[in-house]
Amino acid sequence: MKLFSCLVALLLFLLQAVPGKGLPKDTLRCVGYHGFCSHSKSCPAPFAAFGTCSRHQKTCCIDTTANFHTCQDEGGHCVPPEIKCLQEQVGLCPYREWKCCTEV
């Protein structure tokens, strides 16, 4: 019986650790960039604020020491999805589904 209880506890723990459909899209996006959600509007060093989490209730903090390249850092600018880029650039944009362009 004790073994069964331990297995059930382990199963519940694993189910909580897996990101699922229940998380808001902005939170999933933040976690996808290896970020975390902060209650404050500013992020501790070496993290930088990059969008929102929890349905715009928290700030997404991204580690600036690990492959963090914003669109502007790479010489581009962020545009909404309805605008077509002549040349796309690698870089992160703070708005969901926006893309980084060097030329529009």
Q: Which residues of 34-60 are buried (b: 16+ CB within 10 A; e: fewer)?
A: ebbbbeeeebeeebbbbbbbeeeebbb
pLDDT of 81 strictly over 60: yes
Q: Which pLDDT belongs to residue 32?
A: 76
Which DSSP helix (H) or strand (E) runs through 79? strand 77-79
Question: Quick one: average pLDDT of 63-86?
Answer: 80
Domains along the chain with CATH numbers: 24-67 (3.10.360), 69-103 (2.20.20)
CB of 94 closer than 8 Å to CB of 50: yes
**For residue 5, what are the CA distances in angstroms to 2, 14, 82?**
5, 14, 53
Q: Tens of pLDDT along 52-73?
A: 888 889 998 887 776 667 787 7
One-letter identity of residue 91: G
At 94, the pLDDT band (50, 70, 90 cuts) reads confident
